[in-house]
Amino acid sequence: MKIAVIQGPNINMLGVREQHIYGPMKMEEIHEQLKGAASQNGVELEFFQSNLEGELVDRVQECLGEVDGILINPAAYSHTSIALADALKAVSLPVVEVHISNIYHREEFRQKSITATASTGVITGFGPFGYHMGLMALTQIISEIYQQQQGSEEVAQHEQAEAK
């Protein structure tokens, strides 16, 4: 199982910017913790961060056929990027959106996530632990999809055998 972890604008500044909102943990520390959790569960992670909307859209599109799911913190683009939401919808992969802060306890313009409409689920307000929650949720969702696909294949094989 392979999951892309995609980080939006200013996530590279975690640990420096607004620690009263985002805490002291740096993006690299979050990634290291995620790697540990993923390796314990046989999950491969790919990390990508950009401050540029088009690069994020490109990376999401590149996920098609390459990964089984996307764990994304679109950051400020969650509130503004129709292009990113459209890209997430286009790849038809399971997506879990993560926000470190509780967007519903923030300014009014941050309380609406456009990208959430393209996400399987959203985790908000649990700090860096939200990434772990998202990883757990995404691995479960992907596992369930695999099980459904296997069941469908078995039914098709059974039907083919009966038709002969």
99 catalytic? Reply is yes
**Coil, helix or strand at residue 73:** strand
Which helix (DSSP H) or strand (DSSP E) does residue 124 occupy?
strand 121-124
158 catalytic? Reply is no
Rounded Cα distance between 25 and 127, Å, is: 9
Catalytic residue among 22, 77, 79, 131: 22
Rounded Cα distance between 148 and 150, Å, is: 5
Counting Cα atoms < 13 Å in the Cβ hemisphere of 107 gives 5
- Vertex 63: Cα angle to 57 and 67 (nearest 5): 150
Number of residues that make up the chain: 164
Catalytic residue among 77, 79, 99, 131: 99
Q: Which residues are identified as catalytic? A: 22, 99
